[in-house]
């Protein structure tokens, strides 16, 4: 147990690299961008879905898988109606992310571990959250109660369209098929779309936290940086699913 209150359960022999998960630079960018609240409407939609689907069990056990710096876990605590009755957990393979998450939220428990080997008992969780994060189907099925819910956030068709216009000659809509574990069916889906106007620093931070960051080099990068008053569409799909 680290003094910041998190557990590090990723033994050296299970680390595939020295710094597993997202790099420090990527995390810094993400923290910088998310804390400026550009994604707050999506985070509030997550909280509203949790409220709407509050289970009978008290407390309701929730795990954010691949939680990064814990932004969504903090928003759940801030915006869910009955947050005192939520037992919030977050795991990520990146130690630095968990360090930052644990420092910012005393009322949640954070663990450095991999989604492929989760340190939780069978049938423990009422809801699992995956926001742009990988997961392992067998582990999802194992730790989720039989009536438990899986809430997945993925990019919608037009997510970050105007940023992509700088990078690709022809921008294609995002494929919106959501990967659900076998035997799970969708029970509700919501599309949240709105426009943001990040300042120059936040625009660069947003770029750095996306998978297409590595393509934006040289003049392309300059153009993105210099563009004044650029408005960017965000587009998210929230999918709530449960075991059939």
Ligand X SMILES: C[S@@+](CC[C@H](N)C(=O)[O-])C[C@H]1O[C@@H](n2cnc3c(N)ncnc32)[C@H](O)[C@@H]1O
Q: Which residues bind ligand X (CB under 6 A)?
A: 21-22, 30, 66-68, 71, 92-94, 97, 114-116, 131-134
- C-beta of 23 vs 200, nearer to ligand X: 23
Nearest approach in angstroms of CB 101 to ligand X is: 10
- C-beta of 114 vs 208, nearer to ligand X: 114
CB 84 within 8 A of CB 58: no
CA-nearest of 222, 20, 28 to 134 is 20
Say how many CA atoms lie within 13 Å of 179 toward its Cβ: 9
Strand partners, 46: none
- C-beta of 63 vs 80, nearer to ligand X: 63
User: Three-class SS of residue 87?
Assistant: strand
Nearest approach in angstroms of CB 194 to ligand X is: 17
Contacts of 52 (CB under 8 A, 6+ apart): none
- Which residue is listed with tokens 């037009």? 158
- C-beta of 4 vs 85, nearer to ligand X: 4
Nearest approach in angstroms of CB 133 to ligand X is: 4
Nearest approach in angstroms of CB 129 to ligand X is: 8
């Amino acid at each position: 147990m680290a003094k910041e209150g998190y557990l590090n359960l990723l033994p050296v022999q299970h680390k595939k690299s020295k710094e597993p998960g997202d790099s420090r630079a990527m995390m810094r960018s993400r923290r910088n961008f998310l804390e400026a609240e550009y994604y707050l409407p999506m985070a509030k939609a997550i909280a509203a879905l949790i409220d709407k689907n509050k289970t009978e069990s008290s407390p309701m056990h929730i795990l954010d898988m691949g939680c990064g710096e814990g932004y969504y876990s903090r928003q759940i605590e801030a915006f869910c109606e009955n947050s005192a009755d939520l037992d919030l957990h977050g795991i990520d393979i990146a130690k630095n992310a968990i360090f930052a998450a644990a420092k910012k939220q005393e009322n949640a428990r954070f663990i450095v571990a991999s989604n492929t080997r989760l340190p939780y008992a069978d049938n423990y969780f009422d809801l699992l959250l995956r926001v742009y994060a990988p997961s392992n189907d067998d582990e999802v099925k194992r730790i989720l109660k039989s009536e438990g819910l899986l809430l997945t956030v993925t990019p919608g068709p037009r997510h970050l369209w105007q940023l992509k216009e700088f990078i690709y000659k022809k921008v294609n809509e995002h494929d919106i098929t959501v990967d659900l574990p076998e035997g799970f069916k969708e029970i509700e889906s919501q599309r949240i779309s709105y426009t943001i106007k990040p300042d120059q620093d936040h625009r660069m931070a947003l770029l750095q936290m996306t998978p297409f960051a590595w393509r934006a080099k040289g003049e392309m990068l300059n153009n993105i940086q210099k563009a004044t008053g650029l408005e960017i569409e965000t587009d998210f799909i929230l999918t709530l699913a449960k075991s059939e």
